[in-house]
A and B are shown apart, each in its own frame.
Chain A
Amino acid sequence: MATVMATVMATEPLFDRILNKITEIVFYPINIGGVDILPIVVWLVVAATFFTFYLGFLNIRGFAHAINLVRGRYSKPEDAGEVSHFQALATAVSGTVGLGNIAGVAVAITLGGPGATFWMILAGFLGMSAKLAECTMGVKYRKHHADGSVSGGPMYYLRDGLAALGLAGLGKVLAAAFAVFCIFGSLGGGNMFQANQATAQILAVTDNEGNTTLTWIIGIVFALAVGLVIIGGIKSIARVTEKVVPFMAALYLLACLVVILTNIGQVPGAFGDIVSGAFSPEGITGGVVGVLIVGFQRAAFSNEAGIGSASIAHSAVKTSEPSTEGHVALLEPFIDTIVICTMTALTIVISGVWKDGAGVEGVALTSSAFETVVPWFPNVLAIAVILFAFSTMISWSYYGMKATGYLFGDNPAAENAYKVIFCIFTVLGSVTALDAVLGFSDAAIFLMSVPNVIGLYILARVLKEELTQYRAKIASGEIQRVK
């Protein structure tokens, strides 16, 4: 066992190098006026901004309607027993809420200062429109299988939506590209990054930093737990996680509030830092644009708007109007980025821990922010991180499996191979350095947005027609509240 470990550990730098190379390609910077601009981040921001304007700020206009849909105000009694809007939203949110909100925000503030928070919030606001677009299309072009189950997501709207516009060839290429990147993304951000940060957190609270043997053990335990669920079909583990995660999220927000309220006097100053840091940052590489990029990048990684992943989760909802789920989905970046990320950011900024910067990064920084007010909270945070990581891994393994299923015609052998590979990557994530993992995770997830956003642009008119006819039905009273 020791020899095997030593051999694998020796290959670790090579693995890091491969990950770093992929990251370099995806995040190839273009230097404009002395500032490095990442085309992939610009790509996402432009898409989210385009849909915000193209849909006439439906992310604001449709907000109240979205809340009513989630509250079941439009659900017919015969829909009882099927997937409700709330459930589809909750499942998608538990796939996105996780380390991006805890570690990602910390990374953003470490790199970009408090001002990064401002751009994260703006990105969350624009991201609501991108999410609205992809989830409406996901439901519109979802596929009903003979056994009654439903598959949806970018693979299907790229293939079938574009085919309906006479672009069948392009649609197939984009759908296949999306599926391939989705598999990589599921192994990276949806798996390795989660395992990595959960492991780091366990090591930190048990004072075992640098203990490589323990990282292997934790990684293997994680992989076994994931394997039990996705290979062994032990659904009870996933079900329990799914039920505990919302409580952990509530506890997390409560802890943020405790830190914020304890330092209530510093809140105006923190907001001041956030706004002034956004427009006139001091000592940040790249100035305003540098901060903006960091903020947008971490927001996109956290709420996944434009990436297409949530569209897979939202497609299971019971509805006859695709637009309903689009409206519901716009709440996702709101919850994830505008509410939870802002709370984390305030906690970090108020506590001042980000200024020390003594090599503390990722989730450890957030943890130390809590420690300033509630000394025992890092232990609770460690449990929350493990659960968030686990539920995100379960969600992403599902996305990756749907992508594998799409590519291989629902071939069970291919799906099983994917599941085994997923578990192996869990272990690799636990033992690899943060930088390499974070870079690759970002790269793979951002790559998904390339085919997804191209498809959404092409389908923009179809999307607008779909939403317009739905809004008209509400205005005319054809669709009415039932409660």
Chain B
Amino acid sequence: MTATVIVGIDGSQPSKRAVAYAIGLAEAQEVNLVVAHVIPWSPYSFNTPSENEERAEKKKQEIAAASAQIVDPAVEAAAESACDVTPVVRHGDPVDTLLELARDFAATAIIVGRTGDSRVKRALFGTIPGHLVHESTIPVTVVP
């Protein structure tokens, strides 16, 4: 069975490098890629009534925008290599959702780009790669 690797992307430069790294890996080792973008969303946020009313439509728009601008270019780049690529766009907590995807696809590794968060944000909340490294039960590669 061919192994599957999750590539978490957000459209930043490091995440583009993460895609390039994953493609290289896929070509060398014949692995399948799941190119995933997680739209940050919490079920516990507070909304106005009109925000709630428009939410279902907004979700569709957000997924369409994320697919067109972030995931599709990465999938196209990966498609030139021989590997099988699955695009995924989901709402949720980025760390939790990437770990869930890894479980769902029985992935053997996760690849993400390094995020360029500010010192304050890092101190307060940590970084997504940092949390992934701490919580994942499979190897995580952070591409600078």
Interface residues of A (CB under 8 A from B): 72, 75, 77, 80-88, 90-91, 94-95, 147-151, 235, 238-239, 242-243, 245-246, 312-313, 316-318, 394-395, 398-399
Q: Are A147 and B41 in contact (CB under 8 A)?
A: no
Q: Are B52 and A239 in contact (CB under 8 A)?
A: no
Q: Are A149 and B92 in contact (CB under 8 A)?
A: no
A178 to B52, CA, bound (A): 22
Q: Are A316 and B49 in contact (CB under 8 A)?
A: yes
Q: Are B50 and A398 in contact (CB under 8 A)?
A: yes
Q: Are B43 and A398 in contact (CB under 8 A)?
A: no
Q: Are B51 and A235 in contact (CB under 8 A)?
A: yes
Q: A242-B46, A398-B48 are in contact. List 9 more A-B contacts (CB 8 A).
A: A80-B91, A84-B43, A87-B43, A91-B52, A95-B49, A238-B50, A239-B47, A394-B48, A395-B49
Q: Are B48 and A81 in contact (CB under 8 A)?
A: no
Q: Which residue of A85, A150, A245 is within 8 Å of B46 (Cβ)?
A: A245
B15 → chain A closest CB, angstroms: 20
Q: Are A91 and B47 in contact (CB under 8 A)?
A: yes
By size class, the interface of chain B is: 20 to 34
Please judge, given known A-B contacts A81-B62, A84-B43, A86-B43, whether A235 and B52 are in contact too, CB under 8 Å.
no
Of the candidates A75, A77, A246, A394, the one having the most CB atoms from chain B within 10 angstroms of its own CB is A77
Q: Are A148 and B60 in contact (CB under 8 A)?
A: yes
A151 → chain B closest CB, angstroms: 7
B86 → chain A closest CB, angstroms: 16
Give the residues in chain B near A312, CB-CB below 8 Å: 49
List 26 A–B pairs whose Cβ atoms lie within 8 Å, in order of A's numbering. Answer: A80-B91, A80-B92, A80-B97, A81-B39, A81-B63, A82-B56, A82-B59, A86-B44, A87-B43, A87-B44, A88-B52, A90-B46, A91-B48, A91-B49, A94-B46, A147-B57, A149-B56, A235-B51, A238-B48, A242-B47, A243-B45, A246-B46, A312-B49, A317-B52, A318-B56, A398-B50
In the assembled complex, B90 has its CB within 8 A of some CB on chain A: yes
Q: Are B43 and A316 in contact (CB under 8 A)?
A: no
Give the residues in chain B near A317, CB-CB below 8 Å: 52
Please judge, given known A-B contacts A149-B53, A316-B53, whether A81 and B46 are in contact too, CB under 8 Å.
no
In the assembled complex, B80 has its CB within 8 A of some CB on chain A: no
Please judge, given known A-B contacts A82-B56, A149-B53, whether A77 and B100 are in contact too, CB under 8 Å.
yes
In the assembled complex, B131 has its CB within 8 A of some CB on chain A: no
Give the residues in chain B near A245, CB-CB below 8 Å: 46
B39 → chain A closest CB, angstroms: 7
Interface members, chain B 51-76 (any A CB < 8 Å): 51-57, 59-60, 62-63
A43 → chain B closest CB, angstroms: 27
Give the residues in chain A near B41, CB-CB below 8 Å: 80-81
A170 → chain B closest CB, angstroms: 28
Give the residues in chain A near B53, CB-CB below 8 Å: 149-151, 316
Q: Are A316 and B55 in contact (CB under 8 A)?
A: yes
Give the residues in chain A near B100, CB-CB below 8 Å: 77
Interface members, chain B 96-114 (any A CB < 8 Å): 97, 100
A242 to B44, CA, bound (A): 12
Interface members, chain B 6-49 (any A CB < 8 Å): 39, 41, 43-49
Give the residues in chain B near A147, CB-CB below 8 Å: 57
A316 to B55, CA, bound (A): 8
Give the residues in chain A near B90, CB-CB below 8 Å: 77, 80-81
The number of inter-chain residue pairs (CB within 8 angstroms) is 93
Residue of B nearest to A147 (CB): B57
Q: Are B56 and A91 in contact (CB under 8 A)?
A: no
Give the residues in chain A near B62, CB-CB below 8 Å: 81
Residue of B nearest to A237 (CB): B48
A154 → chain B closest CB, angstroms: 15
A150 to B47, CA, bound (A): 15
A2 → chain B closest CB, angstroms: 37
Residue of A nearest to B48 (CB): A238
Q: Which residue of A81, A246, A395 is within 8 Å of B91 (Cβ)?
A: A81
Give the residues in chain A near B92, CB-CB below 8 Å: 77, 80-81
Give the residues in chain B near A148, CB-CB below 8 Å: 54, 56-57, 60
Give the residues in chain B near A242, CB-CB below 8 Å: 46-48
A312 to B48, CA, bound (A): 12
Give the residues in chain B near A88, CB-CB below 8 Å: 52
Of the candidates B47, B60, B92, the one having the most CB atoms from chain A within 10 angstroms of its own CB is B47
A66 → chain B closest CB, angstroms: 15
Please judge, given known A-B contacts A81-B59, A84-B43, whether A149 and B48 are in contact too, CB under 8 Å.
no
A105 → chain B closest CB, angstroms: 24
B17 → chain A closest CB, angstroms: 28
Please judge, given known A-B contacts A80-B90, A398-B48, whether A75 and B54 are in contact too, CB under 8 Å.
no
Q: Which residue of B45, B60, B63, B91 is within 8 Å of A87 (Cβ)?
A: B45
A148 to B60, CA, bound (A): 9
Ranked 7 nearest A-B pairs via Cβ: A81-B91, A148-B57, A84-B43, A316-B52, A398-B49, A81-B59, A80-B91
Q: Which residue of A87, A94, A150, A235 is within 8 Å of B56 (Cβ)?
A: A150
Q: Are A235 and B48 in contact (CB under 8 A)?
A: yes
Q: Are B46 and A91 in contact (CB under 8 A)?
A: yes
A7 → chain B closest CB, angstroms: 36
Give the residues in chain A near B51, CB-CB below 8 Å: 235, 239
